[in-house]
Structure 1
């Protein structure tokens, strides 16, 4: 069993525990929130924004004299009705990647902004994209000391500082802020609403596994849902995958086994151990389950509609063809690097917590900081104006809120959680999106009414 150590970042407490339990490489959090929904005949959406930077403290919780870093954020005032009409601010909680990638692939925020007359803001998460301290990613990721400030707690304060800066520079002091986020970003949006309720009037947290921590959700839940996604498309395909693990292990133990696997899976460099291949194949299955949209998409990779169906095509050759759907559907890759980072999320190694950093695990800290074991009671007593939106086919849904907690902490569960609209959307999806919009409208309206009552006093 792989010994995986834990970083200081709160979000890693869950991931390290899961890795210690299963000995697996965990995929990034990217889920179904940010899908760009379009057909091959539709041009990619064009979103217009300005890029700005704000100097952030590296550590918001101490008085140490540490270097600051430039946090990038994207802002669009194209549809904003301005401060005099109290136009809202739609604020996306940046995930574990370059923020432009999320901005270009989060259609729902852009689609509804004109309806609300909203400003749109996408702040980048610290240590990702161009928002890295110490001058470069190489320096920022160098060791445990430089990485120790990469935490969810610091990210939440970063976001709060950006919002405060908007109030000053754009006169948004009385404008309501509404949070959006998907997967890890959805967790941040929900946690921000709990930790800093004065900062935003509400949050839409999509595919946000805030319950998937030690002793709350069974450790096998994520991979059970990945398996179900493949079973649902083809039980034969599921059985091939099930058999493939033993097949890879057996092949790897023969004299020329690693050479055979290297050739079969078209790897750029000779395989040194089958474990590396397991992780690579497993990641492809997990991502395919996350992005198994019924339309072609380019959210994580260029993929066809229902990509899992493309996986059905001796066992090892079939498995290679299957993972090739994810890693090389366009046919552009000549070979594969097992340690390649196609999504530019090197910092996630720290947040996911690998043993190379030699950090002692604190698996209980995450639920101490944000709640978890009694999260339903916590949300009922202290939470309000949060939408937890989930598609039950998304593997991360197993760790999310799947039932209403109160009148203002709402769970919307569908068969497929699709975020951007298309002309082929089914009625149930249109209705769910409209339900989300009406909830947001209601909470913003409540904010305006309360503000008006205060001014009239």
Structure 2
């Protein structure tokens, strides 16, 4: 899922292994907003400093105010200089803000990331942050009579929709891109060529025989000799390899390079070509070739597949810890609000070996959240926001047909003022990125359509 933040989706451990700080230069300077710690407890007066950015280049006295919502990673200020929303801002004379999400990036509400402190991390608290920010900025900057528009992609896309839903007096309209508004514990559906399925099955069989571990260690260039002592050890290894495909499919042929994101040249076509290349050997050998290609692309000397190391990283509660870039925080949110676990519990996907139970156990291991509590939390999220049955107005829902997450989003119009924009041939959050000459016609048309909607909505 995109965060307007680091541009790299990391459901849990992938963020640990691939998170980079390669942020391009920008003129936007970080600023700080005094925010409430707990918006739902009037007796708690604690406050903290939340990071935000401003671009007033296009602002006109009677123009709207655009608010980009940060997500599950550091807010990347490069978005203050690039992106489709700035094209809209230039045409509409908008003042632009971007607010970093609590507990991510430099926005630290608490001294550490202990589970006790993470109770202040939720979409509801984040929406209240946005509401308070919008209220105070309107009062102090003379923006009370302006129309505010929320923007977000992926989880922040859901927040954009929910901001309009829950605070309609504060937000006039929202662009909720690639927004998985329906929470779901198990989300296993993925596609892969037949060779990929054979490779995964072959590897699972080899993991049953300890005499193969030395060869597997060499084939996949592991950082230490493969040790499979528990089901979690096996599942973690298999999930790590499958993650190569998940990430590429999610962001296929996007234009994230402006953010400093590495690997945008690796596409579905590239992976399929490797998996179909018989000269590399059997499907297992091709699977290993994909892993080596990804390690080379991300400048990784070796692949760390130690589940024990992962647990140590994820249970480190320091802001200096290896999972503090967003891994510990986001997995907490999945355990307490959304689920979204990409398991192998479905015949409609090609991988094997990391079932839902493996994912759910981490909630208990990392945060003492039981399977029953997780299920209840996901149900409450859909009850609170409405899931697919959102009822509001002036929210547009762009989604890409290649993006697996469109299955949890709005892909057909709910009403005339709750339209969907389904973009054939594009992936996750494609319409948010800067336009380029090679963009498919459908993507260019989608961007134009969203602009016309905003133009129309801002007149009323």
Asked whether the two chains share a fold, i.e. TM above 0.5, the reply is yes
Please say if residues 78 and 119 of structure 1, whose CA atoms lie closer than 8 Å, have aligned partners that are also in contact: yes
Pairing of 1:49-448 with structure 2 (within 5 A): 49-65=28-44, 67-81=46-60, 85-100=61-76, 103=79, 107-135=83-111, 139=112, 141-142=113-114, 144-213=115-184, 219-220=186-187, 223-224=188-189, 226-227=190-191, 230=192, 238-272=193-227, 273-293=233-253, 297=257, 301-305=261-265, 307-311=267-271, 312-313=273-274, 314-329=282-297, 332-338=299-305, 339=310, 344-346=325-327, 347-353=329-335, 354-356=363-365, 357-359=367-369, 360-361=373-374, 362=376, 363-372=378-387, 375-376=388-389, 378-379=390-391, 383-415=392-424, 416=426, 418-419=430-431, 420-446=434-460
Within 2, Cα distance between the matches of 1:305 and 1:117? Answer: 35
- Cα RMSD of the aligned pairs, angstroms, is 2.7
Report the 3-state secondary structure (helix = DSSP H, G, I; strand = E; otherwise coil) of the residue aligned with 2:38.
Answer: coil
Deviation of 1:365 after TM superposition, in Å, equals 0.8
Please say if residues 248 and 266 of structure 2, whose CA atoms lie closer than 8 Å, have aligned partners that are also in contact: no
Kindly tell me: are residues 432 and 111 of structure 1, through their superposed partners in 2, closer, same or farther at Cα, counting changes over 3 Å?
Answer: same
Deviation of 1:213 after TM superposition, in Å, equals 2.9
Within 2, Cα distance between the matches of 1:196 and 1:48? Answer: 31
Within 2, Cα distance between the matches of 1:442 and 1:293? Answer: 31
Within 2, Cα distance between the matches of 1:326 and 1:120? Answer: 36
Report the 3-state secondary structure (helix = DSSP H, G, I; strand = E; otherwise coil) of the residue aligned with 1:310.
Answer: helix
Structure 1 residues not aligned, in runs of 5+ = 1-24, 31-43, 231-237, 447-457
Q: In the alignment, which residue of structure 2 is the partner of 1:234?
A: none
Kindly tell me: are residues 370 and 165 of structure 1, through their superposed partners in 2, closer, same or farther at Cα, counting changes over 3 Å?
Answer: same
Within 2, Cα distance between the matches of 1:345 and 1:328? Answer: 24
Pairing of 1:35-50 with structure 2 (within 5 A): 47-50=26-29
Kindly tell me: are residues 89 and 301 of structure 1, through their superposed partners in 2, closer, same or farther at Cα, counting changes over 3 Å?
Answer: same
Please say if residues 184 and 208 of structure 1, whose CA atoms lie closer than 8 Å, have aligned partners that are also in contact: yes
Kindly tell me: are residues 425 and 249 of structure 1, through their superposed partners in 2, closer, same or farther at Cα, counting changes over 3 Å?
Answer: closer
Deviation of 1:324 after TM superposition, in Å, equals 4.1
Within 2, Cα distance between the matches of 1:100 and 1:297? Answer: 13
Q: Higher relative contact order by CA 8 Å / sep ≥ 6: 1 or 2? A: 1
Within 1, Cα distance between the matches of 2:395 and 2:170? Answer: 14
Please say if residues 53 and 71 of structure 1, whose CA atoms lie closer than 8 Å, have aligned partners that are also in contact: yes
Please say if residues 76 and 259 of structure 2, whose CA atoms lie closer than 8 Å, have aligned partners that are also in contact: no
Please say if residues 45 and 104 of structure 1, whose CA atoms lie closer than 8 Å, have aligned partners that are also in contact: no
Number of residues of Structure 1 aligned to a counterpart in Structure 2: 378
Please say if residues 89 and 175 of structure 1, whose CA atoms lie closer than 8 Å, have aligned partners that are also in contact: yes
Report the 3-state secondary structure (helix = DSSP H, G, I; strand = E; otherwise coil) of the residue aligned with 1:72.
Answer: strand
Within 2, Cα distance between the matches of 1:112 and 1:46? Answer: 22
Kindly tell me: are residues 182 and 304 of structure 1, through their superposed partners in 2, closer, same or farther at Cα, counting changes over 3 Å?
Answer: closer
Deviates more, 1:261-270 or 1:102-111: 102-111
Please say if residues 251 and 260 of structure 1, whose CA atoms lie closer than 8 Å, have aligned partners that are also in contact: no
Structure 2 length as normaliser, TM-score? 0.75
Please say if residues 69 and 132 of structure 1, whose CA atoms lie closer than 8 Å, have aligned partners that are also in contact: yes
Within 2, Cα distance between the matches of 1:162 and 1:28? Answer: 31
Structure 1 length as normaliser, TM-score? 0.76
Deviation of 1:105 after TM superposition, in Å, equals 9.1
Deviation of 1:97 after TM superposition, in Å, equals 0.5
Deviation of 1:45 after TM superposition, in Å, equals 8.0
Deviation of 1:349 after TM superposition, in Å, equals 2.0
Report the 3-state secondary structure (helix = DSSP H, G, I; strand = E; otherwise coil) of the residue aligned with 2:116.
Answer: helix
Deviation of 1:424 after TM superposition, in Å, equals 2.4
Deviation of 1:163 after TM superposition, in Å, equals 1.0
Within 1, Cα distance between the matches of 2:95 and 2:167? Answer: 20
Within 2, Cα distance between the matches of 1:342 and 1:99? Answer: 16
Deviation of 1:104 after TM superposition, in Å, equals 6.5
Deviation of 1:103 after TM superposition, in Å, equals 2.5
Pairing of 1:27-38 with structure 2 (within 5 A): none
Deviation of 1:306 after TM superposition, in Å, equals 5.8
